[in-house]
């Protein structure tokens, strides 16, 4: 498998796409591209960028991906200006089939089903790469953004996909304002879509999830009123009041998303040792205009669920990314495999800008990839999708690292 | 048991409260900390932006910025150094002093910096001369501002250097152009003046030359006065050439290029030069055999040798010296960048003297018109300009090398041509005769008289007049009686070409010869186009006059006017 990575940051979107593709071709010595995984910042003209990517490779090579808040490669990391990056893959043994489904905002589950129906019974897939539009409705002056939920989407996919393959992917966001996004659906560019690529062949997928949150106080609360992604009451009290009290002010509700506090669900032992791998976090996307409730990034919390208030922890985030990335590589090497390509799907909240760290968390990933001389493409996302606790799940505030390896 | 349970519940509540409060405190603290970090980051970003902006200004400015301490150690040099000196800032920091030339203006500059350090006050801008990596010099205009501490002591000097090399060159170029313009105007004035006096001077020469030639023919061959008369004639001919050279500055004198063996020309010239140079100067002649043919004007090539020899003689002065003139064939196999000569075959003339030589400073100016190092009255400053002009018009190249105190060598290259030299027509001392009737017109009566006598001695019937209107009347009265009209060009009442035109109107086939000392009014081609058959320059030599008259008459009416 040959991988070429291209990166550029240029206002001229057509030129940007051309440069990125040309760099990737040069960088990977690509002769016969099989597929392209590409992302670009929200300010980039996606259609022009897409055409630019096609310029050196032609229109027959499928391009999957779409909007991202920023781009990470072995040498670059940027979420300012007009960043864009792509991985061009060439392989004689890689089998892949792409599919897309639209109208995600109308029915996530149905979109998932339609996507999977097209992929089913085709190839003996080992991995499903899946990228979807996170923004159902961009925020307005009076309302927070409405998010396309990953649980129904994944449910729809798993329902129709006959193979049991891990789903690795992301809910795409293009900027911190939660503006509308676009997806690269193989041969065209569209919004409110989910794009999937089922991969098969002589490669081995390995992945790891990087966390970064700890329980605020270890006190469990029960949801007493929730509706879809909106959480109204916890322990019979308005959740807004509870959070006001925790912060000591109402200032937090102006944050989009809320930066420090998340809602966590512990899938492990209730009072057992803290294990980040057992926690699923839900980002608070915003506050309803009438301050009646909080809008979560996913609609999967229901009345009766026990939750904890979680706090983002930079130290844990850095330790997690360093430890998990290094361990993943060690595992791959120990198995006698050779890592060839990494896709890092990193929550946009983990940038130094939002998490207020002095260094970029993703730079730890870059360091380890460079140490192992392995090509890396990463991007900043809204939701990360990866298998956890035995099933594929949408995650918040995590970094999902996928590494494709080949037998030595 | 009940009490213990109650106690445990209370304890749990208590610990929960503690955990909750601790968690909240942590949240609030980190939130506050976050705000501080955000503010700091924003400040840092603003500072970074501002620094970036400043850096952009500095790095994209046309000036080189630097900062040095009071010991002249450079602490910062902007990346412009690469463009200015060809070295990156870090290298310039170390080798600044090495990059300065020995030009005394640099010392003056350092003193101004020193004053700025001592006084803490901004000083006037100054100039430094540096040397680039490629060896060329760069002129910098420096403006420095001292940075002082709270006690007013200078701690740093911030400087901006502007590359003024091009500006200075442009200024020098402008100055040079202005000088050239002034010189050109001066040349034009001289040309006009020369043209004006040339007519009179040629008339005088014509009279002297003509009468001398008549006298030579009248005295017996072995009469002692004949030798003197020959000298007078010889001097007249040289004077004629001088006038021709003089006129060439006023207008583009016509060059008569023809294939020639330059060794013959130079041998002849050296004979003449030998008789004019003082005896303290020995002339050595070193000519290769079978010198290739070149395309040239013999008179002008002769002038080159005369001018360079005169200069050599002046350079040698009253001391014993040698003038060496050599001639050789040279074949260049590749382009000579110094001489800007393409590969090919050349004839090289070298004129070497053992004089005082020329300093490097003067070397650049020696071809400038009116540039002379000679005392007033001893040189016009035109000699080398003329040489340069002649070489240029022959598409040749000139190279000078000189060692002050040891002498100078002028090397001149002329491209050879694949043609045999056209031999000089051997002098026919017997002027052709004739019996035809000629009307001779010149406003100078003495010239009319002289040429009437000359032509009559050649057998012609000659009617002469100094009034062109009278000449026209005579012609109109009986046009058929004249076989030829010879008229001067510049006459007060009617110009020669106007007279010719009127006559041609009357009798289109009348052969007319126009002669002139100088005319800026009309060229030879224009005259010939108007139907005039020949154009000759004054002063007229008997041989030239006789041959021209015979040639025109022999061509006769077989040639249609304006053909």
Best mutation target among A80, A213, A217, A271 (most B Cβ atoms within 10 Å) is: A217
pLDDT class for B558, splitting at 50, 70, 90?
A: very low
Whether A61 and A74 map to the same domain: the answer is yes
B34·A259 Cβ contact <8 A: yes
pLDDT at res. B183: 59
CATH architecture of the domain with range B262-415: 2-Layer Sandwich (3.30)
Rounded Cα distance between A232 and A249, Å, is: 18
pLDDT at res. A310: 93
- Domain that includes residue A198, residue range: 2-210+317-407
Three-class secondary structure of residue B162 per DSSP: strand
pLDDT at res. B189: 66
Number of CB pairs, chain A paired with chain B, less than 8 A apart: 45
Q: Which tens digit of pLDDT belongs to each residue from B313-353?
A: 888 888 888 999 999 999 888 888 777 788 889 999 999 99
Using a CB-CB distance cutoff of 8 angstroms, which residues of chain A are in contact with residue B31?
247, 252, 260
pLDDT at res. B11: 84
Q: Which tens digit of pLDDT belongs to each residue from A109-154?
A: 999 999 999 887 678 889 999 999 999 999 888 788 889 999 999 9
Domain B61-163 in CATH 3.30.450.20: yes
Do residues B432 and B477 make contact, with C-beta atoms less than 8 angstroms apart?
A: no
pLDDT above 90 for A336? yes
Q: Which tens digit of pLDDT belongs to each residue from B198-223?
A: 767 777 888 888 888 888 888 887 78
The conformation of residue A83, written as its DSSP 8-state character, comes to E
Whether A292 and A193 map to the same domain: the answer is no
Tokens of B167: 């500006």
The answer to whether residue A80 neighbours chain B at the CB level (below 8 Å) is: no
A311·B34 Cβ contact <8 A: no
- Mean per-residue pLDDT over chain A, rounded: 93
| Domain ranges, ordered by start, for chain B | 1-58, 61-163, 173-250, 262-415, 437-558
Whether A72 and A147 map to the same domain: the answer is yes
Q: Mean pLDDT throughout A100-109?
A: 95
Q: How many C-alpha atoms does B442 have within 13 Å on its Cβ side?
A: 27
Whether A57 and A164 map to the same domain: the answer is yes
Closest approach of B81 to chain A, Cα-based (Å): 29
pLDDT at res. B187: 59
pLDDT at res. B177: 73
List the one residue out of A239, A278, A312, A241 whose CA is nearest residue A393. Answer: A278
For B66, residues 6+ apart whose C-beta sits below 8 A from its C-beta are B74, B76, B77, B78, B158, B159, B160, B161
Question: Which member of B16, B20, B34 has the closest CB to residue A260?
Answer: B34
B426 versus A80: the higher-pLDDT residue is: A80
Burial class from Cβ neighbours inside 10 Å (0-12, 13-18, 19+) for residue A179 reads middle
Bridge partners of A378? A72, A344
Rounded Cα distance between A90 and B298, Å, is: 80
pLDDT at res. B562: 37
Of all residues in chain A, what percent carry a pLDDT higher than 90?
A: 75
Question: Which member of B27, B38, B41 has the closest CB to residue A246?
Answer: B27
Q: Mean pLDDT throughout B459-479?
A: 92
pLDDT at res. B351: 93
- Looking at A259, A283, A312, the residue that finishes a domain is A312
Whether A248 and A368 map to the same domain: the answer is no
pTM over 0.80: no
Using a CB-CB distance cutoff of 8 angstroms, which residues of chain A are in contact with residue B29?
none
A300 versus B276: the higher-pLDDT residue is: A300
A311·B28 Cβ contact <8 A: no
Whether A89 and A225 map to the same domain: the answer is no
ipTM for the whole complex: 0.74
Tokens of A75: 């040498």
pLDDT class for B416, splitting at 50, 70, 90?
A: very high
Best mutation target among B17, B31, B52 (most A Cβ atoms within 10 Å) is: B31
- Mean per-residue pLDDT over chain B, rounded: 82
Closest approach of A97 to chain B, Cα-based (Å): 45
pLDDT at res. B191: 61
pLDDT at res. A367: 95
pLDDT class for B379, splitting at 50, 70, 90?
A: very low
pLDDT at res. A42: 95
pLDDT class for B556, splitting at 50, 70, 90?
A: low
Poorest-pLDDT segment among A58-67, B352-361, B367-376, B394-403: B367-376
Using a CB-CB distance cutoff of 8 angstroms, which residues of chain A are in contact with residue B24?
216-217, 245-248
Q: Mean pLDDT throughout B442-468?
A: 89
pLDDT above 50 for B464? yes
pLDDT at res. B511: 93
Q: Which tens digit of pLDDT belongs to each residue from B244-299?
A: 666 654 444 456 678 888 998 888 778 777 767 777 888 898 998 889 999 888 87
Closest approach of B65 to chain A, Cα-based (Å): 30
pLDDT above 60 for A377? yes
Report the residue count for chain A: 408
pLDDT class for B429, splitting at 50, 70, 90?
A: low
The answer to whether residue A160 neighbours chain B at the CB level (below 8 Å) is: no
Rounded Cα distance between B455 and B435, Å, is: 10
Do residues B340 and B349 make contact, with C-beta atoms less than 8 angstroms apart?
A: no
In B, residues 20-79, which contact A (CB 8 Å cutoff)? 20, 22-24, 26-28, 30-31, 34, 37-38, 41
pLDDT at res. B560: 41
The answer to whether residue A259 neighbours chain B at the CB level (below 8 Å) is: yes
A246·B24 Cβ contact <8 A: yes
pLDDT at res. B426: 44
Q: Which tens digit of pLDDT belongs to each residue from A242-297?
A: 999 999 999 898 887 888 899 999 988 888 888 888 899 998 988 988 899 999 98
Whether A25 and A139 map to the same domain: the answer is yes
pLDDT at res. B234: 78
The conformation of residue A103, written as its DSSP 8-state character, comes to -
Poorest-pLDDT segment among A325-334, B267-276, B320-329, B538-547: B267-276
Using a CB-CB distance cutoff of 8 angstroms, which residues of chain B are in contact with residue A215?
23
- Looking at A266, A284, A312, the residue that finishes a domain is A312
φ, ψ for residue B419, nearest 5 deg:
-155, 150
pLDDT at res. A345: 97
Query: Domain count of chain A?
Result: 2
pLDDT at res. A270: 86
A309·B28 Cβ contact <8 A: no
Q: Which residue of B has its CA nearest to A259?
A: B31
pLDDT above 80 for B114? yes
In A, residues 182-221, which contact B (CB 8 Å cutoff)? 215-219
Q: Which tens digit of pLDDT belongs to each residue from B75-88?
A: 999 989 999 999 99
CA distance to A18, A56, A183, per residue, from A61 (Å)? 14, 10, 16
B35 versus B275: the higher-pLDDT residue is: B35
Q: Which tens digit of pLDDT belongs to each residue from B347-375?
A: 999 999 998 888 777 766 666 555 555 54
Question: Which member of A219, A260, A353 has the closest CB to residue B31?
Answer: A260
Burial class from Cβ neighbours inside 10 Å (0-12, 13-18, 19+) for residue A101 reads buried
Whether A223 and A91 map to the same domain: the answer is no
Whether A218 and A115 map to the same domain: the answer is no
Of all residues in chain B, what percent carry a pLDDT higher than 90?
A: 28
- Looking at A312, A327, A346, the residue that finishes a domain is A312
Using a CB-CB distance cutoff of 8 angstroms, which residues of chain A are in contact with residue B20?
217, 219
Whether A243 and A111 map to the same domain: the answer is no
pLDDT class for B563, splitting at 50, 70, 90?
A: very low
Do residues A307 and A243 make contact, with C-beta atoms less than 8 angstroms apart?
A: no
A248·B24 Cβ contact <8 A: yes
Reported CATH class of domain B173-250: mainly alpha
**Domain B437-558: assigned CATH number:** 3.40.50.2300
Whether A120 and A261 map to the same domain: the answer is no
A232 versus B257: the higher-pLDDT residue is: A232
pLDDT class for B561, splitting at 50, 70, 90?
A: very low
Using a CB-CB distance cutoff of 8 angstroms, which residues of chain B are in contact with residue A252?
31
pLDDT class for B377, splitting at 50, 70, 90?
A: very low
Poorest-pLDDT segment among A100-104, A227-231, B253-257: B253-257
Rounded Cα distance between B422 and B339, Å, is: 29
Q: Give the residue carrying structure tokens 């106007």.
A: B498
List the one residue out of A278, A178, A264, A254 whose CA is nearest residue A220. Answer: A264
pLDDT at res. B391: 84
Q: Which residue of A has its CA nearest to B12?
A: A219
The answer to whether residue A254 neighbours chain B at the CB level (below 8 Å) is: no
B30·A260 Cβ contact <8 A: yes
Q: Which residue of A has its CA nearest to B29?
A: A247
Q: How many C-alpha atoms does A92 have within 13 Å on its Cβ side?
A: 0
B381 versus A18: the higher-pLDDT residue is: A18
Whether A234 and A337 map to the same domain: the answer is no
A247·B28 Cβ contact <8 A: yes
B22·A217 Cβ contact <8 A: yes
Q: Using DSSP bridges, classify how beta strands A221-227 and A279-287 pair: parallel, antiparallel or unpaired.
A: unpaired
């Amino acid at each position: 498998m040959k991988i070429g990575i291209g990166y550029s940051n240029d206002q001229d979107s057509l030129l940007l796409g051309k440069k990125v593709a040309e760099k990737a071709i040069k960088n990977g010595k690509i002769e016969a591209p099989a597929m392209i995984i590409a992302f670009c910042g929200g300010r980039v003209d996606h259609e022009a960028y897409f055409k630019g990517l096609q310029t050196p490779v032609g229109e027959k090579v499928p391009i999957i991906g779409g909007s991202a808040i920023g781009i990470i490669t072995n040498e670059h990391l940027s979420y300012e200006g007009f960043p864009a990056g792509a991985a061009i893959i060439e392989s004689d043994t890689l089998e892949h089939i792409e599919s897309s489904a639209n109208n995600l905002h109308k029915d996530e589950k149905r979109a998932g089903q339609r996507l999977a129906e097209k992929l089913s019974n085709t190839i003996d897939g080992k991995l499903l790469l899946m990228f979807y539009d996170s923004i159902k409705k961009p925020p307005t002056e009076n309302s927070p953004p409405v998010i396309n939920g990953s649980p129904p989407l994944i449910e729809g996919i798993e329902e129709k996909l006959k193979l049991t393959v891990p789903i690795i992917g992301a809910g795409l966001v293009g900027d911190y304002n939660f503006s509308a996004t676009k997806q690269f659906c193989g041969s065209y560019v569209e919004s409110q879509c989910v794009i999937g690529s089922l991969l098969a062949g002589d490669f081995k997928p390995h992945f790891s999830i990087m966390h970064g949150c700890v329980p605020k106080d270890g006190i469990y609360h029960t949801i007493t009123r929730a509706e879809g992604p909106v959480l109204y009451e916890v322990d019979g009290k308005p959740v807004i009041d509870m959070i006001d009290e925790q912060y000591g002010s109402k200032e937090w509700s102006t944050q989009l998303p809320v930066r420090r506090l998340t809602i966590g669900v512990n899938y492990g032992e209730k009072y057992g040792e803290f294990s980040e791998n057992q926690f699923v976090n839900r980002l608070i996307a915003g506050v309803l205009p009438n301050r009646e409730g909080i809008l979560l990034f996913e609609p999967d919390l229901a009345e009766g669920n026990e939750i904890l208030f979680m706090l983002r922890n930079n130290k844990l985030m850095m330790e997690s990314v360093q430890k998990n990335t290094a361990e993943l590589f060690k595992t791959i090497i120990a198995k006698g495999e050779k890592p060839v390509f990494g896709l890092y799907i990193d929550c946009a909240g983990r940038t130094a800008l939002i998490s207020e760290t002095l260094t970029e968390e993703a730079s730890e990933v870059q360091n380890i990839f460079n140490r192992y001389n392995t090509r890396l493409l990463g991007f900043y996302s809204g939701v990360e999708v990866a298998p956890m606790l035995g099933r594929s799940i949408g995650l918040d505030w995590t970094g999902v690292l996928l590494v494709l390896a080949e037998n030595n | 048991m009940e009490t213990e349970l109650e106690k445990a519940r209370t304890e749990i509540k208590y610990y929960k409260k503690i955990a909750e409060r601790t968690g909240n405190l942590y949240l609030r603290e980190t939130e506050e900390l976050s705000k501080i970090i955000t503010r700091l980051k924003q400040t840092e970003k603003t500072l970074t932006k501002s620094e970036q902006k400043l850096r952009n200004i500095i790095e994209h400015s046309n000036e080189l910025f630097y900062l040095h301490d009071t010991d002249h150690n450079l602490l910062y040099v902007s990346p412009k150094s690469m463009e200015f000196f060809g070295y990156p800032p870090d290298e310039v920091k170390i080798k600044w002093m090495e990059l300065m030339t020995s030009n005394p203006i640099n010392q003056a500059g350092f003193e101004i910096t020193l004053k700025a350090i001592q006084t803490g006050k901004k000083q006037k801008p100054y100039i430094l001369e540096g040397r680039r990596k490629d060896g060329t010099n760069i002129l910098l205009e420096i403006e420095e501002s001292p940075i002082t501490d709270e006690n007013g002591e200078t701690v740093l000097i911030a400087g901006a250097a502007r590359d003024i090399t091009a500006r200075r060159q442009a200024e020098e170029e402008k100055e040079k152009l202005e000088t050239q313009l002034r010189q050109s105007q001066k040349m034009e004035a001289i040309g006009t003046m020369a043209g004006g006096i040339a007519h009179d001077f040629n008339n005088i020469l014509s009279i002297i030359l003509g009468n001398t030639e008549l006298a030579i023919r009248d005295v017996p061959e072995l009469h002692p006065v004949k030798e003197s008369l020959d000298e007078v004639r010889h001097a007249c001919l040289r004077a004629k050439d001088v006038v021709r050279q003089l006129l060439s500055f006023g207008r583009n004198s016509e060059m008569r290029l023809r294939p020639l063996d330059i060794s013959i020309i130079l041998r002849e010239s050296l004979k003449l030069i030998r008789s004019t140079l003082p005896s303290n100067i020995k002339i050595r002649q070193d000519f290769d055999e079978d010198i290739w043919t070149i395309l040239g004007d013999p008179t002008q090539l002769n002038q080159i040798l005369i001018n360079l020899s005169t200069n050599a003689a002046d350079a040698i002065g009253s001391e014993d010296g040698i003038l060496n003139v050599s001639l050789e064939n040279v074949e260049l196999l590749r382009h000579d960048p110094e001489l800007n000569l393409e590969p090919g075959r050349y004839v090289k003339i070298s004129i070497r003297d053992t004089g005082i030589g020329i300093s490097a400073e003067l070397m650049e100016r020696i071809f400038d018109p009116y540039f002379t190092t000679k005392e007033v009255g001893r040189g016009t400053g035109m000699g080398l300009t003329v040489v340069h002009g002649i070489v240029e018009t022959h598409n040749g190249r000139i190279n000078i090398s000189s060692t002050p105190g040891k002498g100078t060598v002028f090397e001149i290259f002329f491209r050879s041509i694949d043609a045999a030299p056209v031999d000089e027509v051997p002098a026919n001392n017997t002027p052709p005769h004739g019996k035809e009737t000629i009307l001779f017109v010149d406003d100078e009566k003495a010239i009319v008289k002289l040429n009437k006598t000359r032509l009559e001695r050649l057998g012609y019937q000659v009617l002469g007049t100094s009034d062109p209107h009278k000449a026209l009347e005579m012609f109109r009265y009986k046009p058929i009686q004249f076989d030829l009209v010879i008229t001067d060009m510049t006459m007060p009442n009617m110009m020669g070409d106007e007279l010719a035109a009127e006559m041609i109107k009357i009798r289109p086939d009348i052969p007319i010869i126009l002669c002139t000392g100088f005319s800026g009014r009309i060229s030879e081609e224009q005259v010939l186009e108007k139907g005039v058959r020949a154009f000759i320059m004054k002063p007229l030599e008997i041989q030239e006059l006789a041959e021209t008259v015979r040639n025109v008459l022999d061509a006769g009416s077989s040639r249609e006017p304006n053909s």
